[in-house]
Structure 1
């Protein structure tokens, strides 16, 4: 598109230059070569006439440029009008570039689909050797080694799930199903997914959510909570605890919060925590280090599910992530359900 605009601007400059060249030539010819037979007032009158014509041409050109801008940013325009505004040569170049961009987008989409399918197949195939490892580890007589193996296997399963869901986020348009779900059930399902790490780290769980319904996609909501619970595990302190609470502000509008009491996030890092790959200074002690992808996925899923997500934290006091659900009952409920 930049190339097209440059070509369009070049034509406009050539037109302005042509007008100025014509004006300069007429003045030179009439003033210096015909001065004996030409009156000064006639020359002034001719300059005023040429100036008026030039102003009219430039004003028309400006409005033509503004109209072309509106057409190119999305306003409905007929193909004949675009061709007239651009000129045949520029219009053809623009159509060729547009077709090339469409081809590139289709190629990129196909590449993402192939990559997502490959990751899905790989994830499913990798479950078999992991299941075998679990069975073999169950016969391991070394208790300390068995626990370490259990931790590594659980970690691999979690990473495989993250890879699979992360690849689906690149093309989620056919993978979202909104339905009326009980929030408490979603919380318990996510807790079950993270049970190994929660039990091993002796987490206390406080679920202050009863009989609250939301409209969302169950699988994506569970994955979103998996990320938040996973973060609470990674950045825990002694006597770790997670509190889940929810309130219905208005009919259909729910505010849901997940509060942990871990090491927290420094105030200066809060504006960046949802950025892809951002890693703060508070890395978990031990073998694991943050990848900076968890909260990035959380925000991306929030946009996918139309959830407003906010995070507050104080260093040393933990974090609270708040999810505000919109009232979608008008879109999903029948009259008998309301």
Structure 2
């Protein structure tokens, strides 16, 4: 059933059915008109023939004076009249022997008949009453006989020369032969119509196929195109409108393929841009549903961003965004991860997407992780404050002692003046060290520091630094150990810079290691060929919360104690920058109250890998 319904819904069969119906209707109308005209023509021809026959009989009868005398002679009885009339009728020329001819007198009584049914003689024929009464001179009718067959009757009055009606001629002519001829003609016409319909149907199918086959091919091509295949083309077999449609569709396919290729290329570019962006991007429609996002947005928010989600649910803002957004807007979002102590600061930039008519159709949200920027800004402010404080403290001390020397009369006491001058010189030296350290860090930040790198023996470097700090360790009763293997590879480095790194590390170790504890300097070759140097002490250690910031400039765990010991807070920062400039790494491990180990790596003179 569905198959037939699909066939009927096809434009090919619709065209065929429409053409057949049109032809059928036209043939029907023509046939009805033709049949009607044919029937009228045959009836008219039959009637004219019958009238001519009746007129001929009437003329012949009226020319027979004996017949007129017999009909008008009252002295003759009926049998005699019938005999005389039969003689007259036998002498008449009857055109159609299938017709029935009756002669009736003026009373309507059948006197004679040509029919084999002689029992009609002597009976009254009421069908000639109008003619006998003079109402009509001639009467024609189409009737049905006792068997239901159609007949045509003609009645004519027989009159004397004086105009007196003395009888009538009544003729019955069967019409079945005529209608049989009409039916034969109709059947021939019907067969011709059926043959024409069949031939027309074939021609219509061929014509419809010439139209629908290209349309079907274009439909199939459109379906294939919808599935993403643009390689197939429509066969153009003619230059008519259908062929032009196929050519236009092939052109459309090429243009669409080019447009989709460009669109796909732009999409890949956009995806590549979104994928490699350091910022998160979330695009929404005008109702706030997410339609495009990148992986970075999920990383910043620490949870996946699903398409279709509402932007106000994705972003935990204290004040939800009012949609549609008409103007650009910026805000900051602070996210506190469960596994980190420091919150993440996210800068949110909202930009509405507008059509040329200024209608807002969407929203672009850019998420920037500004935690590091905020941290650097905080460090910058702290750095400026620390530098100001570090410079102000010795300057204040110098100023105070100089004022005491100038105004307090300390110059009169040589011993006191000498002590004041020593303090002033020490504070000046402290300022000099601080400024030199700051200048060194500045040059390193600007990549202006030149290193005199060459192949040096790390063992000699470590033994030299051990000699320099051995006296300080003995003074504080600190046990100092140097563990250096015999076959330690040479390193490619600037000896003065490496000496400064070791001096900074050992200075801190001696400074923060109480009496009776130990310091160990060791070196070993790693599997990647680098040489790792460790400075380990059993001093006071560093709290865990301070380890992440220990390499920051001017950062101190115990600021009061550090300043009292003469530190600038830049030693570890300088050590890290020097190690990084040599291509190495530095990290620190510490447990509060048990000690600290600082380890840094340096590249060998000829890199090698130990298996």
* TM-score, length of structure 1 as denominator length: 0.49
Q: As a proportion of its length, which structure holds more helix?
A: 1
Q: As a proportion of its length, which structure holds more strand?
A: 2
Higher-Rg member (1/2): 2
* TM-score, length of structure 2 as denominator length: 0.29
